[in-house]
Structure 1
């Protein structure tokens, strides 16, 4: 049985995905001690602001049609959806290039120049995303894994080169775009689907067939992304570049295990929970939910304790003395990190039970309360940045605790039947 499982196509695909994602996440973290010595706090602040804004705009790239490339039965229709996604990405990036400068006045003056790179990143990210989904359609998961690793390698090499030479401003930003471009070029050469100009009138049918992707996919993703970047946006607007730069390093370091552990477990959890619910094994589902929460908690607690008690000396030793303050931020945010690590992967419960409306209501609540809390703390109370983080942690624990209760009750409802 083990031999059959380990040799199965599904197992090989999952292994390559996890391995590729793990390496891609690990490489930038391993390179960080060098990058923190090549770049200043201001460089990290500019990169953090850029990536927050770019991530928000990237939500609507391709009209979300790239996610539908996997679905058509015929290759002809898949090609049309792919082309539609590329067309929309080009138009969207151009629209951002025209419109975004009109809103530069809402950003601090020293951050405005870096925003001109946002349309370029969105353009490459949109193409990259389309090719990734084309690869998923044809089950070339190893290609995807290599592409993600190349993205990290491209970023690291470009960042080190620009950090040493100092020939260009915004080195970390340009490095991020370079890594995405390198990965995009690799995928475009390996992809079984290539870009071919197709008249727009022939794409209308596919646009209508998969209209639910832009119709119902963009807004929830936008709320989720902007909520995750809320702290960066508030720091950008109301606090110093030094505060933002130190938080930028903290965010990069904490995001790596959160992405790797959380996303990897979420996929496995979703498959198992969906299977149990489909088979109406509801009592087993609640036991599986409880055990999953315990496992994630056990994984997260040691990381939390290390950050809480040794954040400052650890960051100073690994990244350099000037980054000790980032360790202070990490020790404050450690509890919020654990809350998100434990509870976010379990959100697949709503997919498995087809109760996404409940999740969307929480997402709206989280979005509203996050911005109200942070804006009140920064604008009205004018809290110091460390105090702002303490308030943010309390908000995260309360909101994610409420999210966990909703998840648990959702599964419990089925287990009583």
Structure 2
């Protein structure tokens, strides 16, 4: 009992609990407010917003060229300040580049996505990308300074401002304006909270052009090796939105986006926690025994036992549940969800075990997996387009093929966990 009590009092445990609390609340707010949003905004509005989010997610993932990941590494705060400055400078430059692209090719981009309604919001993509880049850098600096309470507050602030602004703007405007502006406001509010730590730790003459260049040289491996993998992963996660909008319709994308938002909850709330614990336990096991086989098997069984009741219940209630909670109009999303639930169950288990690659330092497989997923996704949707297959059937084919692929990935993780390090 005393051991458990001491464990809870440790700095590490307190930091984890602080972040978990902030993350849980931050995720709960958008979920709780979704039934209100679905009665203010149309599926078409959600489709435009999903397209906007996909664009900003890809751009935001690479906006700092991965230099933000190095902020926690230097011994001296002065060096980390210059890395923050470097990351934000790159984000600003990249955002200006995106703005030029939008100014020159706005109409062509709209045609590419098969929807002219995204055109006015393309001008906000560079701004959202810049704010995301600033947030990435400030967040890592707060981690460096162990300001986990501040990070948790910023997460809740972002989530709260997102929900409130999307509802209020939606009540006084038409179309997806409130959804998009709310996203930008949420980033801005989060940055304000995180900036306090940066300001309180800054000292005169910390930052200079020469120092920034020096840090860029020291940590040049981050953009060279991490950036391609992160970019591919981000494209893989968001390419479906572009394909649905281009091949089918923006309204179909709106229904699909709500489906993904809801059936992804188990992975976000439970799967991510399992993944983090598995990473720690597997790393410890590898050091002590030279194998992660036992930990892998135990985690796999726990995830499987959890997924069966959760996703089985969801499978039978999801269609009427969507119509009741989000409004009759959104019953279509429930139909999509029922098709995707078997895939969500398999992915829930497989993705939680993907840290096997990290533990065994086999990250190159992660790059190949993302490339494989991206290629197969594009082939499925492009084949549907050429063959005139309707979206419901496309979703069924997609679900079946992805179930097979994620099952193979899980088998790969199992094979790796059985091997002893060289």
Q: Which TM-score applies when normalising by structure 1?
A: 0.95
- Superposition RMSD in Å: 1.8
Q: In structure 1, what is the Cα distance between the partners aligned to 2:175 and 2:239?
A: 29
Residue 344 of structure 1: aligned partner: 351
Task: Tell me what 1:386 maps to.
Answer: 392
In the aligned structure 2, how far is the partner of 1:194 from the partner of 1:256?
A: 39
Q: Does the Cα contact within 8 Å between 1:89 and 1:123 map onto a contact in 2?
A: yes
Matches within 5 A, 1:117-156: 117-156=124-163
Contact kept, 8 Å, 1:134 with 1:193, in 2: the verdict is: no
Change (3 A) 1:194 1:113: farther
Give the Å deviation of 1:251: 1.5
- Alpha-carbon distance, 1:193 to partner: 4.6
Q: Counterpart of 2:289?
A: 280
Show the counterpart of 1:242.
251
Show CA shifts across 1:329-363 (max 9, x none).
Answer: 11111011112211112111111111222232222
Cross-structure match for 2:112: 106
What does residue range 57-136 of structure 1 map to in structure 2 within 5 Å? Answer: 57-101=59-103, 102=105, 103-104=108-109, 105-107=111-113, 108-136=115-143
1:63 Cα deviation after fit: 1.2
Check if 1:200 corresponds to 2:202: no
Counting only pairs closer than 5 Å after superposition, residues 150-229 of structure 1 correspond to structure 2 as: 150-166=157-173, 170-191=177-198, 192-193=200-201, 198-229=207-238
Per-residue CA deviation, residues 374-416 of structure 1 (Å, 9 max, x unaligned), is: 2212x2122111111111101211111111111000011229x
TM-score by length of 2: 0.94
Give, in whole Å, the separation in 1 of the partners of 2:231 and 2:216: 21
2: distance between equivalents of 1:122 and 1:128? 10
Q: Does 1:368 align with 2:368?
A: no
Which residue is 1:271 aligned to?
280
CA deviations over 1:151-189 (Å, ceiling 9, x no partner): 110000101101111178521111111111111111112
SS of 1:179's equivalent in the other structure is helix
Q: Quote the Cα distance in structure 2 between the aligned partners of 1:331 and 1:402.
A: 23
1:405 pairs with one of 390, 411, 417: 411
Matched position secondary structure for 1:230: helix
**1:336/1:397 contact within 8 Å kept:** yes
Over 3 Å counting, the alpha-carbon distance change for 1:398 and 1:193 in structure 2 is farther
The 3-state SS of whatever aligns with 2:72 is: coil
CA distance in structure 1 between the partners assigned to 2:370 and 2:150 by the alignment:
33
1:358 aligns with 2:365: yes
How far apart are 1:255 and its partner, in Å?
Answer: 2.8
Counterparts in 2 of 1:131 and 1:381: CA distance versus 1, 3 Å: same
How many Å apart are 1:222 and its aligned residue? 1.3
C-alpha contact (below 8 Å) 1:93/1:120 kept by paired residues: yes
For residue 373 of structure 1, report the CA deviation from its aligned partner.
2.0
Counterpart position of 2:49 = 47
> Are the aligned partners of 2:45 and 2:175 in contact in 1 as well (CA < 8 Å)?
no
Give the alignment partner of residue 34 of structure 1, picking from 30, 33, 36: 36
Question: Which consecutive residues of structure 2, in runs of 5 or more, have no partner in the other structure?
Answer: none
Give the drift of 1:24. Answer: 0.8
CA distance in 1, matches of 2:26, 2:148: 14
In structure 2, what is the equivalent of residue 2 of structure 1?
4
Q: Displacement, 1:142?
A: 1.3
